[in-house]
Amino acid sequence: AQSVAQPEDQVNVAEGNPLTVKCTYSVSGNPYLFWYVQYPNRGLQFLLKYITGDNLVKGSYGFEAEFNKSQTSFHLKKPSALVSDSALYFCAVRDLQTGANNLFFGTGTRLTVIP
């Protein structure tokens, strides 16, 4: 069975500091991993994805994420946080072994960037 864990409900970081939003996953086969962001009263916006290849993937708005197979993690990072990055962040996984297209989401992490 597939699952995603986001261990932190809330992350606070000062503007200009690096940020990390954590995600771990569990799948039976190879994972296909995503990060989405949700701004207030908006839908889910795609940030980045990992399929295969380079473990460090770069996405929109300066975000990047590192796939770590041994730790089954896919943490989201940004070198310098902006106030406008404040939002709800969701990690999601698809298990390529099952052949199913649906995504399994984590519970979300609310990021607050403090000016």
Partner 1 sequence: EPEVTQTPSHQVTQMGQEVILRCVPISNHLYFYWYRQILGQKVEFLVSFYNNEISEKSEIFDDQFSVERPDGSNFTLKIRSTKLEDSAMYFCASSEPGQVSTQYFGPGTRLLVL
Q: Contact positions toward partner 1, by CB under 8 A?
A: 32, 34, 36, 41-46, 49, 51, 90, 92, 96, 99-108
Minimum CB separation from partner 1 for residue 85, in Å? Answer: 19
Residue 66 vs 104, nearer CB to partner 1? 104
Residue 42 vs 58, nearer CB to partner 1? 42
Minimum CB separation from partner 1 for residue 53, in Å? Answer: 11
| Residues 25-57: b if buried by 16+ CB within 10 A, e if exposed | bebeeebbbbbbbeeeeeeeeebbbbeeeeeeb
Return the closest-CA partner of residue 46 out of 99, 96, 1, 103: 103
Which amino acid makes up residue 40?
P
CA-to-CA distance for 21 and 5, rounded, in angstroms? Answer: 11
Return the closest-CA partner of residue 13 out of 105, 89, 102, 103: 89
Minimum CB separation from partner 1 for residue 18, in Å? Answer: 26
Minimum CB separation from partner 1 for residue 44, in Å? Answer: 4
Residue 65 vs 108, nearer CB to partner 1? 108
Residue 19 vs 48, nearer CB to partner 1? 48
